[in-house]
Amino acid sequence: MPYRFIIASLIIAFSAGIAFAGQGGLNVNVFPLPPSLSATVEFSEPSGNKKLDADETGKLIITVKNSGKGDAFDVKAEISSDKRISGLIFDGSVIIGTVEPGKSVRKEITLTASEDIPTSDINLNITLKEANGFDPDPVKIAFQTKVFEPPKLIVADIGMDKPRVRPGETVEVTVRIQNTGYGDARAVSVDIETGENVFMAGDSKTRFELGGLPAGKFKDVKFEFYTNKRIRNGEKVSITVRINEARPQFKLAKALDILMDAPQKKIETVIVKGDEDKPKGSIEIAGGLSIDVDMNIPDGERAGKYDAAVIIGNKRYSASGSPDIEFADRDAQTMKEYLIKTFGYDPQNIIYTEDAGFAKFN
């Protein structure tokens, strides 16, 4: 009977890792299988420029993988730099914990850059320790910090799909938002606010999320509105564009320069080439939405009593299989303005039509 007791005790003890042989005082240490650790590190930041900008928070992502057969216990990471870094804050010691066989553990370490951080090359060393000495090889990561440069958000240009704003007519407006500063703008959004006697058309959006806007770049927003009859000719149409940024000091509110029943800026299609880094210099305002041929139409002498003109502005050709001409109706309206104001034609002597079909031509 005692013999059986000792064997049973040893079997139970081996499964736990340490064996005690009853009253005989025999201690048996059984070591588990070893772990095999490896580590990787990544750098992440929110602006997308792959640099840690001043007044920005990024992160290091450390991943520890155990390819061995045994557990890795009490794994810790120590983070250090080759030199003193002014304005960069991070936790130099991180607990990874236990890493089981065949598993990985991922830890994120916050990197905070103050507003006064200089432009610099950063090299961080990550040393990892395991409780029983099964340490993975150290890893290094290098990235750059960027000195603070403020963005400057502006309304660079506006354009409209009609030459004039008239009561009850829906007008589409394109507003160009540009960052003319040398610092990247973050989390840019635009709100459209209308004043008295001005209404948003249909399901037209009033808020636009533009995201990040790098230095010198622009994005367009489009919305539609109409007015009632209470705004007199020449009076301002009350529409305000509010540009928001992640940092309140860089936001802007701009009232659009739109007048009732007066020539407005027309939209021109702009072809934008792919992004290219340019050396720092002056940043040009991104125009291109406005064409001034229908602005400031000059006055001329009065035409003869019997002088007459015919204007046909055909925009839609889809029925014939040809592409539409986007601004044909607007150009026809502008031509009519010139005939009346510059050439002095009597409006009654101008035959004007849009999208005239075959029957109307006959």
Helix (H, G, I), strand (E, B) or coil at 358: helix
Residue 336 lies in a domain: yes
**Chosen domain end from 291, 320, 347:** 291
Q: Tokens at residue 302, please?
A: 């009065």
The pLDDT of residue 361 is 61
Residues 80 and 137 in one domain: yes
Q: How confident is the model at residue 352 (pLDDT cuts 50, 70, 90)?
A: confident
Residue 159 lies in a domain: yes
Q: Is it the case that residue 155 has pLDDT exceeding 50?
A: yes
Q: How confident is the model at residue 291 (pLDDT cuts 50, 70, 90)?
A: low
Residues 23 and 46 in one domain: no
Residues 158 and 242 in one domain: yes
Residues 197 and 103 in one domain: no
Q: What does the alpha-carbon distance between residue 234 and residue 259 come to, in Å, rounded to a whole number?
A: 5
User: Could you give the angle at the alpha carbon of 10 between the alpha carbons of 8 and 14, nearest 5°?
Assistant: 125
Q: What is the pLDDT of residues 199-244, one digit of tens each?
A: 999 889 999 999 999 999 999 999 999 999 999 998 999 999 999 9
**Chosen domain end from 146, 177, 212:** 146
Q: Tokens at residue 58, please?
A: 């990024």
Burial class (CB in 10 A: 0-12, 13-18, 19+), 80: exposed
Residues 163 and 274 in one domain: yes
Residue 224 lies in a domain: yes
CATH number of the structural domain spanning residue 113: 2.60.40.10
Q: What is the pLDDT of residues 97-120, one digit of tens each?
A: 999 999 999 999 999 999 899 999
What is the residue-wise DSSP string for 34-80?
PP-EEEEEEEE-SSSSSEEETT-EEEEEEEEEE-SSS-EEEEEEEEE
Q: What is the pLDDT of residues 7-65, one digit of tens each?
A: 333 333 333 344 444 444 444 444 579 999 999 999 999 988 899 999 899 999 999 99
Residues 135 and 65 in one domain: yes
Continuous H helices in the chain: 2-16, 328-341, 358-361
Residues 347 and 270 in one domain: no
Residues 176 and 257 in one domain: yes
Residue 95 lies in a domain: yes
Q: How many domains does the chain have?
A: 4
Residue 301 lies in a domain: no
Residue 328 lies in a domain: yes
**Chosen domain end from 129, 146, 163:** 146
Residues 26 and 42 in one domain: no
Residues 17 and 42 in one domain: no
Q: Is it the case that residue 289 has pLDDT exceeding 50?
A: yes
Residue 21 lies in a domain: yes
Q: What does the alpha-carbon distance between residue 298 and residue 359 come to, in Å, rounded to a whole number?
A: 35
Q: Which whole number is the average pLDDT over 173-189?
A: 94
Percent pLDDT > 90 in the chain is 56
Residues 213 and 230 in one domain: yes
Name the nearest CA neighbour of 250 among 149, 175, 151. Answer: 151
Cβ–Cβ under 8 Å, residues 75 and 168: no
Residues 18 and 134 in one domain: no
Amino acid at 126: I
The pLDDT of residue 326 is 65
Give the distance between the most distant pair of CA atoms in the chain.
135
Cβ–Cβ under 8 Å, residues 336 and 351: no
Handedness of CA 112, 117, 121, 126 (dihedral sign): negative
Residue 116 lies in a domain: yes
Q: What is the extent of the structural domain holding 320?
A: 309-361
